[in-house]
Amino acid sequence: MTTLPKAVFGPPDKIDFLAKERTIAGPGFNRWLLPPAALAIHLCIGMAYGFSVFWLPLSRAIGLTAPRTCPGTMGLMAELFVKDCDWRVSSLGWIYTLFFIFLGSSAAMWGGWVERAGPRKAGFASALCWCGGLTIAAFGVRLHQLWVLWVGLGMIGGLGLGLGYISPVSMLIKWFPDRRGMATGMAIMGFGGGAMIGSPLATELMKFFASSTSVGVGQTFLALAGGYAVFMTVGAFGYRLPAPGWVPAARASTAVRRVAPMITSGHVHVKNVWRIPQFWLVWLVLCLNVSAGISVIGMASPMLQEVFGGGLIGVAKKFGELDKVQLAAVADVAAGFTALLSLFNIMGRFCWASLSDKIGRKTTYVVFFVLGTLLYCSIPVSAGIGNRGLFVAACCLILSMYGGGFATVPAYLADLFGAQMAAAIHGRLLTAWSTAGVIGPVLMMHMRDYELGVGLAPAQVYDRTMYILAGMLLIGLFCNGLICPLDAKWFMSDAELARERHLAHEDAKALDASGEGVTFQRSSVGMVVLAWIGIGSPLAWGFWRMALNVTKFFH
């Protein structure tokens, strides 16, 4: 008989509302309260996608109406500490890069801690880092010190992104073993939709706070930090874990599905995943899918403008022949196109992940790679014949599969490696995202500059890149085909699993605020409805604002 060690954290203090024991749900808890809680955090940290709205205002933070340009000989390191001239947009853009470097690294480093400390503590730590980073950045704007923005937003905020991104993953997979894809798809849809709400909100706040002495960015950072702190704290305290042995009413159907060879009943320890070939195959699958999709995201607006030029506004001129008024009109159409792509990115996360519950994760990625290859190859063709409808449809489907890849991969990992350490393993995998965030944009920009350098017209500079991206997807298809069930040697034994569950406090009973056992914790349908209304209201506002931008494209 195995002797279990004492819990590494000891008994929870009676006022420690973040203790994992406090998050164990009692009988009668409604699992549909969990997706709104996860969305509350993901919608806030998802604003990382929308930070480009701050770059231009920050690039004239001193000049106000126009940038007070730094000397052309000034290097990046000197610009970090300069106080009497405005920052370059390219220097501010490094914050975006730091976001995803620190997201991937923090998720990889602290994924195991998230499993043992529990989702509530991880979600609250995410709120502290993300909102604290915004607050630090506000002081950086006031002091006009770029290094403070890099540290506050890119590094500390990036840590919050990683912790917040993985905090609900394992929890949702355990609550929805019968709908893993749909559950994680709903949460990760929030990360894609964060900018949909945050970008227009930030724009309105900057207009409100702008004055004769300020562009309003610092005050906007503080306002966002306050609002996000409320939403993220409510979300974190809404997190619950199922009690030991809990199964949903639909468990019978799940039991049937578990006979499928790609859905394991075992559990792999996170410390072993680096040595498992299937992990690296999934890593490559995600990296290649994201590298291709993020390349299109980064260049969607200029690509549309340079390919179709005046045709976007009914003028028979190439892009380089347009005057300032026409260029502004074309840019307005391109902004609507970007909003349309964002909509498909968001909806793809939920739709593709939900579909994967029906057809399987491996089959879903086969669709991504086969259909994606055909779509990437179709873009040069539709551009060459001037068919804007086919071009736009291809880009929209590509972006839906880009988002769908993110949302489907947590369930793919749980199928292969088990649900016990899903968040920790997912954290390790997110290093693929960090890698793709460098590969995709660098490849796209390098190829564009090369093609322009050899004299190709702007409308043709993307053709070869699309074929390269299609080739990357074929490599991804090959890697996905090699993924197979794990050898039994990688799974934890019953004793090892029991030890890990004890360390993770999963053998503890649910506790109420006084530290006593919870005997009943029923949640009414009314509570579920209120939770969805609370999270649905900002989502509806974001969709409405996005719809206004999308109409610019169709108009």
Predicted TM-score (pTM) of this structure:
0.84
Task: Please state which architecture CATH assigns to domain 38-68+83-244.
Answer: Up-down Bundle (1.20)
Give residue 511's pLDDT band: very low, low, confident or very high (50, 70, 90).
Answer: low
Q: Is the pLDDT of residue 450 over 70?
A: yes
Tell me the pLDDT tens digit for each residue of 153-180: 999 999 999 999 999 988 999 899 888 9
Q: Would you state the pLDDT for residue 545?
A: 86
Q: Would you state the pLDDT for residue 311?
A: 81
∠ Cα 217 332 330 (to 5°): 135
Q: Would you state the pLDDT for residue 165?
A: 93
Q: What are the b/e assignments for 428-439, b being 16+ CB within 10 Å?
A: bbbbbbbbbbeb
Closest alpha carbon to 118 in 166, 64, 61, 155: 166
Q: Is the pLDDT of residue 3 over 90?
A: no
Question: CB within 8 A of 304, min separation 6: which ones?
Answer: 312, 333, 334, 337, 391, 392
In angstroms, rounded to a whole number, what is the distance separating the alpha carbons of residues 149 and 171? 33
Other beta carbons less than 10 A from residue 246's beta carbon: 16
Mean pLDDT over 417-435 rounds to 89
Tell me the pLDDT tens digit for each residue of 471-491: 999 999 999 999 999 999 999
Say which range, 55-64, 100-109, 305-314, 528-537, has the weakest mean pLDDT. 305-314
Q: Is the pLDDT of residue 335 over 80?
A: no
Q: How many CA atoms lie within 13 A of 179 on its CB side?
A: 16
Helix ranges, 23-80 (H): 34-45, 55-58, 76-79
Contact present, 366 and 401 (Cβ < 8 Å): no
Residue type, 232: M
Contact present, 224 and 108 (Cβ < 8 Å): no
Q: Is the pLDDT of residue 289 over 90?
A: yes
Q: Is the pLDDT of residue 336 over 90?
A: no
Helix (H, G, I), strand (E, B), or coil: what is residue 241?
Answer: strand
Mean pLDDT over 358-366 rounds to 94
Q: What are the b/e assignments for 161-198, b being 16+ CB within 10 Å?
A: bbbbbbbbbbbbbbbbbbbbbbbbbbbbbbbbbbbbbb
Closest alpha carbon to 168 in 196, 190, 197, 192: 190
Say which range, 166-170, 246-250, 376-380, 475-479, has the weakest mean pLDDT. 246-250
Mean pLDDT of the chain: 84
Residue type, 302: P
Q: Would you state the pLDDT for residue 516?
A: 55
Q: Would you state the pLDDT for residue 5?
A: 39
Q: Would you state the pLDDT for residue 459?
A: 60
Q: Is the pLDDT of residue 9 over 60?
A: no
Q: Would you state the pLDDT for residue 506?
A: 66
Mean pLDDT over 445-451 rounds to 71
Helix (H, G, I), strand (E, B), or coil: what is residue 332?
Answer: helix
How many Å separate Cα 537 from the centre of its chain?
21
Higher pLDDT, 345 or 248: 345
Q: Is the pLDDT of residue 503 over 60?
A: yes
Q: What are the b/e assignments for 330-366, b being 16+ CB within 10 Å?
A: beebbebbbbbbbbbbbbbbbbbbbbbbeebbbebbb
Which uninterrupted H or E stretch holds 47?
none
Give residue 512's pLDDT band: very low, low, confident or very high (50, 70, 90).
Answer: low
Give residue 275's pLDDT band: very low, low, confident or very high (50, 70, 90).
Answer: very high
Looking at the chain, the domain(s) classified CATH 1.20.1250.20 span: 38-68+83-244, 261-491
In angstroms, rounded to a whole number, what is the distance separating the alpha carbons of residues 9 and 504? 9
Question: CB within 8 A of 379, min separation 6: which ones?
Answer: 391, 394, 395, 462, 466
Q: Would you state the pLDDT for residue 477?
A: 97
Torsion angle, alpha carbons of 378, 382, 385, 386, to 10? -170
Q: Would you state the pLDDT for residue 152?
A: 95
Confirm or reject CATH 3.40.50.720 for domain 261-491, answering yes or no: no
Max mean pLDDT among 175-184, 304-313, 520-529 falls in 175-184
Question: CB within 8 A of 387, min separation 6: which ones?
Answer: none
Mean pLDDT over 213-219 rounds to 91
Give residue 398's pLDDT band: very low, low, confident or very high (50, 70, 90).
Answer: very high
Mean pLDDT over 278-304 rounds to 87
